């Protein structure tokens, strides 16, 4: 049974036990409703406690019901029954009370939280607003702008903050005992939030509304939540509930909600073992070696330190080791100052970190990751040393972005131990981890890679070996079209603005400046001839050769002076020179064309990646682009976006691009044609 009943000290405890997150499935809703209803006429029951078994309170809706027609009892009916109970109902919260879970708690007359509990309404992250009273009860309980911020951001707060702002009544060690005491001694009178009103502080709310829309980057749900709260302030609870429910149902059918549901499920599918090795078992990883103490190496090191593992960091020289250790110490010092970690956590992590220059220090590591210069010769030299010192069974990983991992693996005596772990900078913050399966990567090595991804809170995508794997291979197509658009008449600023308006976190030229234009320049020097379009990056190369490397040199496609970013006249001059030298007459390029050219380049390349078996599933491409490349989450990823546009239209537009001067790059993937034909 998903809900059992226990009577203790004159309180009826409704124990929800629906692992893993005690989701509000239909049977859970029905059992809560029945328990509360039947308790009304039971003289032996003085109060009711809603509590959960396992690791968490109710953490939201049942994902199996996402997108399906709702079934009775509906959650608003359950929350209404709880709130209207004559007998006091108390929520005993541990772990997370999220979404419908917090709406259940808000309907209760009191809320008791365990230390460390988290409470939130994350519906906007699925393109929705709360649909069972969350937008109406929360601003009637806590300060209305604070409530609106929780709803519009979807971010949870911890128990201590919830106690401070009035969301919970007590934070207790023995939270269930405290909830029983409240249920049996305190009255439900004057505790029904539906009987209260709420108003808004206009100035504070307007500021929140402006900030919300800016942060949403085109997503509709956060702004819709703000508008709903604004409209319903001062109205009766019944009127507010009617508007909330109507908006919830409207948003649930929206393309945005469908896209967000898509990426939600895609992320949960990407961490599964491939079907051919579904029974593979990972090794236990306690100690990790990191070779390279630069920005990437230290970020990877912190990823494992944060997960409670021991880290041995290696560099060529003592001063490089010292700089790396200092960088990590500084980062943890900043995190402590900002309240993100405690002193005990900082001390524990730094105690688990050592640095040195002797490869022998890696002899007891379970996993060793090299994060050195992107050169095949350099990486092979590192792996040759690892082959001599790593213990039998250790997993040997490379953090390469482009290089052939099969070639690296073939250079040592244990190719089965080699796997790609492509982190994204900053590695301790970015969620995506591309796991590259080489031809001889063992099932155990791949299983271990997926296991450490989970342990370090990363979202993994398994890829095969090819230049750039999934993400960077697609990025090359995206950058190609952006670069060619400059030659045809667009300016860097126009391209960047069009794509940020679409929802990208940054435009391609701003990204190039941020990461360093010379990084791509060096990668192209290593790339095979014919693997990229030189005309697409001729302006990039000219800037690098003239010393304009991006933000680190103070100028690139833009100049950066006194905190002000502006178009770089030198870049514009180079663009004009290339147009003149190649006989191109600039034309007006629309923002719509910019979006189509760059997005459909991603889509076509993505279908080629699926066609060639580099990606296991088309959804993995969306996971990679949303979590590693700034693609707008509310569009679900490039492949999901293309399906929304219509694959037949995508094919037709690409056929038109194929008639242009650089049409050879627009060869349509058979997988895309087949998908379009199948609708």
Angstrom CA distances, 209 to 145, 327, 633, stand at 10, 37, 20
| Catalytic, out of 83, 123, 244, 596 | 123
Rounded to whole angstroms, how far apart are CA atoms 186 and 203? 37
Biggest alpha carbon distance in the chain?
Answer: 92
The number of residues in the chain equals 679
CB 425 within 8 A of CB 454: no
Alpha helices in 421-530 (DSSP H): 443-455, 471-488, 492-502, 508-515, 517-526
Please tell me what DSSP assigns to residue 218: T
Both tokens of 259, joined, read 């896209």
**Any catalytic annotation for residue 123?**
yes
- Beta-bridge mates of residue 110: 90
DSSP string, 33-48: HHHHHHHTT-TT--EE
Angstrom CA distances, 584 to 13, 89, 175, 487, 580, stand at 76, 74, 72, 7, 6
Radius of gyration (C-alpha) of the chain in whole angstroms? 28
Of the candidates 460, 585, 592, 571, the one whose C-alpha atom is nearest the C-alpha of residue 517 is 571
Please tell me what DSSP assigns to residue 219: -
Rounded to whole angstroms, how far apart are CA atoms 211 and 205? 10
Kindly state the helix (H) or strand (E) to which residue 596 belongs, with its residue range: helix 591-611
Of the candidates 612, 601, 600, the one whose C-alpha atom is nearest the C-alpha of residue 670 is 612
CB 579 within 8 A of CB 586: yes
Rounded to whole angstroms, how far apart are CA atoms 555 and 548? 5
CB 665 within 8 A of CB 480: yes
Rounded to whole angstroms, how far apart are CA atoms 301 and 288? 8
Angstrom CA distances, 226 to 98, 128, 152, 311, 563, stand at 19, 12, 6, 45, 32
Rounded to whole angstroms, how far apart are CA atoms 309 and 313? 13
Rounded to whole angstroms, how far apart are CA atoms 423 and 455? 15
Distance of CA 73 to the CA centre of its chain: 33
CB 640 within 8 A of CB 263: yes
Rounded to whole angstroms, how far apart are CA atoms 580 and 588? 16
Of the candidates 336, 609, 292, 309, the one whose C-alpha atom is nearest the C-alpha of residue 425 is 292
Rounded to whole angstroms, how far apart are CA atoms 418 and 151? 45
- Beta-bridge mates of residue 112: 92, 170
3-state secondary structure 411-429: CCCCHHHEEEEEECCCCCC
**Any catalytic annotation for residue 416?**
no
| Catalytic, out of 6, 38, 65, 103 | 103
Instruction: Tell me the pairing of strands 3-8 and 11-16.
Output: antiparallel
Active site residues: 103, 123
């Amino acid at each position: 049974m998903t809900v059992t009943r226990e009577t203790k000290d004159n309180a009826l405890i409704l124990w929800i036990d629906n692992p893993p997150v005690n989701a509000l499935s239909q049977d859970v809703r029905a059992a809560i409703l029945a328990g509360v209803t039947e308790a009304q006429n039971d003289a032996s029951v003085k109060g009711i406690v809603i509590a959960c078994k396992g690791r968490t309170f109710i953490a939201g809706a049942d994902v199996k019901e996402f997108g399906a027609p709702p079934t009775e009892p509906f959650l608003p009916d359950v929350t209404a029954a709880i709130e209207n109970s004559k007998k006091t109902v108390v929520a005993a919260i541990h772990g997370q009370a999220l979404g419908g879970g917090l709406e259940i708690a808000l309907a209760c007359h009191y809320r008791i939280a365990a230390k460390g509990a988290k409470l939130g309404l994350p519906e906007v992250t699925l393109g929705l607003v709360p649909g069972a009273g969350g937008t109406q009860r929360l601003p009637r309980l806590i300060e209305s702008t604070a409530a609106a911020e929780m709803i519009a951001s979807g971010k949870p707060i911890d128990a201590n903050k919830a106690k401070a702002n009035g969301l919970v009544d007590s934070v207790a060690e023995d939270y269930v005992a405290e909830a029983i005491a409240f249920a049996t001694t305190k009255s439900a009178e004057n505790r029904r939030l539906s009987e209260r009103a709420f108003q808004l502080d206009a100035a504070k709310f307007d500021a929140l509304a402006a900030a919300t829309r800016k942060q949403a980057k085109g997503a509709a749900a956060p702004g819709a939540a703000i508008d709903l709260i604004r409209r319903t302030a001062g109205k009766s609870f019944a009127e507010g509930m009617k508007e909330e429910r109507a908006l919830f149902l409207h948003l649930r059918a929206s393309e945005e909600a469908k896209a967000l549901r898509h990426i939600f499920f895609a992320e949960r599918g990407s961490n599964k073992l491939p079907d051919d090795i579904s029974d593979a078992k990972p090794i236990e990883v306690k100690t990790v070696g990191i070779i390279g103490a630069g920005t990437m190496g230290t970020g990877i090191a912190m990823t494992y330190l944060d997960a409670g593992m021991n880290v041995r960091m290696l560099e060529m020289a003592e001063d490089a080791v010292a700089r790396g250790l200092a960088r990590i110490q500084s980062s943890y010092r900043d995190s402590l100052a900002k309240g993100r970690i405690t002193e005990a956590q900082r001390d524990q992590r730094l105690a688990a970190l050592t640095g040195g220059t002797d490869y022998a220090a890696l002899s007891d590591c379970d996993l060793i990751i090299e994060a050195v210069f992107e050169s095949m010769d350099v990486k092979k030299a590192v792996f040759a040393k690892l082959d001599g010192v790593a213990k039998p069974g250790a997993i040997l990983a490379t953090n390469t972005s482009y290089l052939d991992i099969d070639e690296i693996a073939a250079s040592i005596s244990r190719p089965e131990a080699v796997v790609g772990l492509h982190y994204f900078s900053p590695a301790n913050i970015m969620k995506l981890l591309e796991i590259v399966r080489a031809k001889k990567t063992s099932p155990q090595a791949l299983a271990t890679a997926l296991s450490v991804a989970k342990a370090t809170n990363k979202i993994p995508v398994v890829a095969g070996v090819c230049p750039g794997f999934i993400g960077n291979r697609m990025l090359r197509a995206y950058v190609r079209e952006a670069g060619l658009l400059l030659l045809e008449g667009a300016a860097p600023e126009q391209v960047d603005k069009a794509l940020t308006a679409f929802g990208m976190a940054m435009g391609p030229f701003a990204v190039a400046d941020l990461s360093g234009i010379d990084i791509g320049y060096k990668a192209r020097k290593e790339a095979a001839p014919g693997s990229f379009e030189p005309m697409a990056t001729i302006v990039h190369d000219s800037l690098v050769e003239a010393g304009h490397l991006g933000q680190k040199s103070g100028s690139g496609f833009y100049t950066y002076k006194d905190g002000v970013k502006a178009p770089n006249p030198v870049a514009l001059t180079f663009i004009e020179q290339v147009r003149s030298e190649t006989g191109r007459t600039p034309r007006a390029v629309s923002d719509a064309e910019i979006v189509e050219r760059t997005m459909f380049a991603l889509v076509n390349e993505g279908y080629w990646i699926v066609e060639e078996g580099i990606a296991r599933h088309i959804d993995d491409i969306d996971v990679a682009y949303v979590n590693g490349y700034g693609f707008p989450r509310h569009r679900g990823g490039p492949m999901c976006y293309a399906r929304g546009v219509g694959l037949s239209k995508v094919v037709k537009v690409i056929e038109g691009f194929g008639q242009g001067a650089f049409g050879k790059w627009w060869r349509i993937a058979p997988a895309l044609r087949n998908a379009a034909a199948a609708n």
